[in-house]
Structures are given as C-alpha cells and as structure tokens.
Amino acid sequence: MTMTYTQTRAEGSSASHPDRGPVPDASLADIDDVSRVLDPDGTRVADAELDPWIRDLSPHELRALHRDMVLTRRLDAEGVALQRQGQLALWAPCRGQEAVQVGTAHALAPGDFVFPSYREHGVLLGRGAQPADYVLAWRGEEHSAYDHTTINAAPPQIIIGAQSLHATGWAMGAQRDGSTDVAVAYYGDGATSQGDVNEAMVFASSFRAPVVFVCSNNQWAISEPVTVQAKYPIAGRAPGFGIPSMRIDGNDALACVAAMRWALDRARRGEGPSFIEAVTYRMGPHTTSDDPTRYRDAGEVDAWAQRDPIARLEAYLRAEGMLDDSGLDEVARAADALAADVRAACIGATTRAPETMFDHVYAEPHSGIDRQKAEYVEYLAGFGK
C-alpha cells in the first residue's frame, strides 16, 4: 500500500531516554511502513499508486539504474580511501543510499535543477559530473568543483538545510519565467529540524512553487537517531504545510523513480511542491571524521546490510533475465575506471597560490576583496619561505 500522506498519523507510544526524557519508540519509524515495489530480496510486488509511474521502464533503463548505483558505490569507496590517505580533507560517505540518489536523479529532465547536500554523490553522477567534480572542493582546490550551469546542480551545501530555500527560490523564478523545469532539494532527516527547511516549505506551498523536497531518512543525524528528530514519520509533516507527500523504501530504486516521477508531474502541471521521505540507512560514518561505532549497534548495521539497495535491484534483474555475469563484469570495469579517473584528478590537481581564493568572488572588481587579498598576501609573507 502506498503511503501517501494527506494528514499526520495517529499518536503512538513512546519510550524514555535517560538524558532527553520521553522519546518515541523505534516502531513509530518502522522501516516497513513504507511504499515499495521491490522487496528486500528483489521480489517484485504490486503497488497501485507507484506502478503506473514505472511501467515504461525498459530493460536498458533498468540496467542503467543498476550501473549508476554500482558506480556511485565505487566512487564513494574511492573518496573514503583518498581521505584516509591524506589526499582529501574530508568525505561524506553515501554507502547504502545509492537507490534514492540514483533513482530520483534518473527521473529528472535535463532542465531541472538540483540543490544537493554534501552526500549526494549519486545525484551528481546522474547529472553528468566529471571525475574532478567530486573531489576538488573536498581537497580545497576550488570553491565549487564544477560549473553549475553545465550539469544543472548547485554546489553541495554544507550548511544543513540551507539548500531548501535556494531550491524554492529557484523554483519561484522558473514559475515566473513560465518554465516547466522543476527544482529539487535533497537533505537528510536531521535537516528537517532546521528552520530553513520549514521556511522553504511555507514559501513553496504558499506560492505553489514547482519544487520537490527529497528527505533521505538515513536514521542518523550524526549521532542523533531519527526518533529524536521526529516523533512521527517525517512524511507526515508536509501536509501541515499543504504539501502532499510519500513515504517510500529508499533502498528500492524503482520506488524512488516512481515517487520522483509522481512529484515532478505534479510540479509541471502547476500543482506545486511535493515531499518524498525515502527511508534508507547510512552504512558508514556521517563523515570521515566520525566514528559511528560509538553510538550505534553493530546488529542494526548488519540488519540494514540485508536490505542493500544494489543487491536488491541486481536480484530482480537477474530473475527477469535482464542481467548476467558478463553484464556485471562490464559494470565492475566501468566502476573501476571511474574510480581511477577520480583518483587521478585528485592527485594530479594543481594547487594554486593561497591568495587566489579571493579571485572570482565577485563578477566585477570589488575594493573590499582587493583590500582583503592584499592583507592576506602581507600575512603570508610574514612566514618567509
């Protein structure tokens, strides 16, 4: 049954927490209280609301979904390795979240514009990012590693939830231009506690802005469990703003495609914003500076490993005769080639002089920036050679 929210859910029970007092029982965020079309073992199941949006997916498109998920995971593993080897200052792993990122990105039209957080490597891959685009900013070489106009993606946002306002503003501009293009804001469950996200939803609803809010509920906002962030399923909040929502299995790539197509269709027909809560799991640390073993149980991680999004789609494709060993070998080679290109782009980057960080801040000359640059050059000179 598709979980389309038109009103909030009934109140459930809660448990106590020694530091924070009453907090919701984990059952309120039940991972099976979601819409899906692929069970964790890859079995296809019917869903009256999601099925119409994915009936036209061809074997080629389904294999492309799988391929991009595998590439995203390999890219992610390379990013972690590069950081551990001192080549990157930081990396935000996305292992386990490939389905929601790749699935939603595959539903987009070329003119749509995405506003990602710092973890959406699969979304950027789906938008056509190049190897250097994933690492130069994390290496500290560029303000933003790519030209946003070439892939229709804003720079990854570090400030939690801020991109939701940017997406809504862009959508309102597109609306006034008479465009059918749609903005998409990606963020995690923790961001829903930020004022920016709620303010963005107020404006989006009031002006019927063509924007889709995609919340990747990966169960943890750094060390805070989602049951502290939300007493009830997060998808139930959106109707309070006048925004319809879906709560889907974020480890089911087909459900992610379907939900995103539903939301995009609403926006293009002038029906305003939609909200998607994709229930998934962050298999690794919040970032490479985090140690998740300090706050979560290994059994929980093992249980989610059984719901792996790539293995799920692979099992379905194999069962349907759409993917075999030779196809998997080809995808693995493509993934290794991407990882090698990313590594080469990272290690081969030319580090510019420190004072060049003041360049290109403004399109026109700016006396304040010129003064700051001169002061910084003088500061650096104080260290000698």
Residues ≥6 apart with Cβ < 8 Å to 309: 69, 96, 97, 98, 99, 250, 251, 252, 253, 280
Q: Tell me which residue of 186, 114, 171 sits closest to 148, measured CA to CA.
A: 114
Catalytic residue among 74, 95, 286, 312: 286
Distance between CA atoms of 334 and 339, rounded to whole angstroms? 9
Please report which helix (H) or strand (E) contains residue 252, including its range.
Answer: none
Catalytic residue among 295, 352, 360, 366: 295
- 271's tokens: 């029906």
Active site residue 143: no
- 191's tokens: 């961001």
Catalytic residue among 95, 261, 282, 343: 282
Tokens 């001192």, located at residue: 86
Active site residue 5: no
Residues ≥6 apart with Cβ < 8 Å to 384: none
Q: Which amino acid type is present at position 224?
A: E
Distance between CA atoms of 222 and 142, rounded to whole angstroms? 26
- 323's tokens: 């993917």
Would you say how long the chain is, in residues?
385
Contact 196, 162 (CB under 8 A): yes
Tokens 């979980």, located at residue: 3
Active site residue 166: no
Q: Where are the alpha helices (DSSP H) in the chain?
A: 59-84, 98-106, 121-126, 136-139, 148-151, 162-176, 195-206, 226-229, 253-268, 298-305, 309-319, 325-347, 367-381
Distance between CA atoms of 57 and 149, rounded to whole angstroms? 28
Active site residues: 282, 286, 295
